[in-house]
């Protein structure tokens, strides 16, 4: 197994760790993901004081291991590993930069290109008799990816890892209990999907992910992601970075560039901020954010049927999550328009 701070977690996801996967993980293109946080940059502000650095590479490995655990299929597993290979620094902030804050998919089109431009990955695929078209689109495999609110390896992995490490909500022991209750089931559309054998674990995942779903789009998150996006746009327009830099440099190097720019003062105010402000009225003379964000939620299967149809507690948790009000102007009073 490759060296990682999350070895125990990975052993839960795949007790029979696929050693063959390490060669793919250790390629230079995949290793670039190690410098990107799954938090879309929010880890760099005191608005999120307890957050742990969990990289895009860590997430991609986790997705691959979940796929492997349930399918033992190399092609599907690699599609999970490669699914975020086109993720730039600050992750979905670049989607915000592109105006795509609702679907957050604007960077995915580069996946095939980056795989094909990696001589190391291409050599491994050739050796293993695998075509690029079989691993460059994890949407082909419903265990790896599917539509909200279904449960897929991608959606499951970031839910578990975020709950354990990034926005601590549960223990590793409880996480393992939830995970071990999952199996492959058939959903209402006749498609394969990850589902639960036991109602209490399906309900617990809903409660857990509903809380985190709010975190993914609360005032702190929406403000931070748009703030970073706007700074990235500014330093890009001024020639300090290129779009290519966002795919080649780790976030630490991009931050160094920001610290040498005219935006270091506002960036440091954001980094040290403890609490965001919100208002139903448009604030004056400050930089503010006023738009919604992508809603991430899960309504998993329990014995082939959505848990929301079988459990009132789960249904209420989902309903409360979906009703979260994002119609606020959000701002930090010390940051003016820039």
Q: Considering the domain boundaries, does residue 269 fall inside one?
A: no
Query: What pLDDT is attached to residue 243?
Result: 86
Q: Considering the domain boundaries, does residue 132 fall inside one?
A: yes
Task: Give the residue ranges of the chain where pLDDT is below 70.
Answer: 1-4, 96, 98-108
pLDDT, tens digit, for every residue of 244-287? Answer: 899 999 999 999 999 999 999 999 999 999 999 999 999 999 99
**In sequence order, what are the beta bridge partners of 278?**
330
Contacts of 287 (CB under 8 A, 6+ apart): 227, 230, 266, 331, 332, 335, 336, 337, 338
Q: Considering the domain boundaries, does residue 327 fall inside one?
A: no
pLDDT, tens digit, for every residue of 324-336? Answer: 999 999 999 999 9
Q: Considering the domain boundaries, does residue 276 fall inside one?
A: no
Q: Considering the domain boundaries, does residue 126 fall inside one?
A: yes
Q: Which domain holds residue 171?
A: 7-218+295-322
Q: State residue 251 phi and psi, 5-degree precision.
A: -60, -30
Q: Considering the domain boundaries, does residue 65 fall inside one?
A: yes
Beta carbons of 48 and 78 less than 8 angstroms apart: no
Beta carbons of 63 and 144 less than 8 angstroms apart: yes
* Number of domains, the chain: 1
Tokens read off for 147: 């539509």
Query: What pLDDT is attached to residue 52?
Result: 86
Spatial separation of the C-alpha atoms in residues 273 and 71, rounded to whole Å: 45
CATH of the domain at 172: 1.10.3210.10
Average pLDDT in the chain: 94
Spatial separation of the C-alpha atoms in residues 67 and 20, rounded to whole Å: 14
Q: Considering the domain boundaries, does residue 331 fall inside one?
A: no
Q: Considering the domain boundaries, does residue 183 fall inside one?
A: yes
How would you classify the pairing of strands 301-302 and 305-306?
Answer: antiparallel
Tokens read off for 146: 């599917």
Query: What pLDDT is attached to residue 101?
Result: 46
């Amino acid at each position: 197994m490759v060296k990682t701070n999350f070895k125990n977690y990975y052993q839960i996801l795949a007790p029979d760790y696929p050693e063959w996967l390490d060669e793919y993980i250790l390629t230079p293109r995949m290793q670039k993901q190690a410098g990107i946080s799954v938090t879309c940059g929010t880890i760099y502000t005191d608005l999120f004081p307890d957050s742990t650095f969990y990289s895009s590479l860590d997430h991609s490995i986790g997705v691959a291991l979940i796929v492997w655990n349930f399918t033992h299929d190399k092609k599907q597993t690699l599609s999970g590993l490669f699914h975020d290979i086109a993720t730039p620094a600050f992750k979905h902030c670049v989607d915000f930069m592109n105006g795509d804050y609702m679907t957050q998919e604007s960077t995915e089109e580069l996946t095939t290109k980056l795989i094909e431009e990696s001589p190391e990955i291409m050599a491994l695929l050739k050796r293993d008799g695998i075509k690029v078209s079989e691993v460059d689109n994890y949407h082909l495999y419903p265990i790896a990816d599917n539509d909200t609110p279904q449960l897929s390896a991608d959606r499951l992995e970031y839910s578990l890892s975020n709950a354990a490490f990034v926005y601590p909500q549960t223990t590793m022991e409880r996480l393992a209990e939830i995970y071990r209750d999952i199996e492959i089931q058939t959903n209402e559309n006749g498609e394969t999907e990850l589902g639960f054998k036991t109602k209490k674990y399906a309900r617990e995942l809903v409660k857990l992910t509903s809380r985190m779903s709010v975190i993914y789009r609360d005032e702190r998150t929406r403000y931070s992601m748009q703030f970073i996006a706007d700074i990235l746009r500014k330093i890009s327009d001024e020639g300090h970075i290129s779009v290519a830099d966002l795919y080649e440099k780790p976030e630490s190097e991009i931050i160094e560039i920001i610290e040498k720019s005219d935006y270091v003062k506002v960036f440091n105010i954001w980094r040290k901020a403890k609490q965001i402000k919100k208002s139903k009225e448009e604030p004056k003379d400050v930089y503010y954010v006023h738009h919604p964000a992508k809603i991430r939620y899960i309504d998993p299967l329990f014995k082939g049927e959505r848990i929301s149809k079988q459990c009132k507690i789960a249904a209420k948790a989902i309903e409360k999550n979906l009703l979260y009000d994002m119609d606020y102007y959000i701002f930090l009073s010390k940051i003016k328009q820039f």
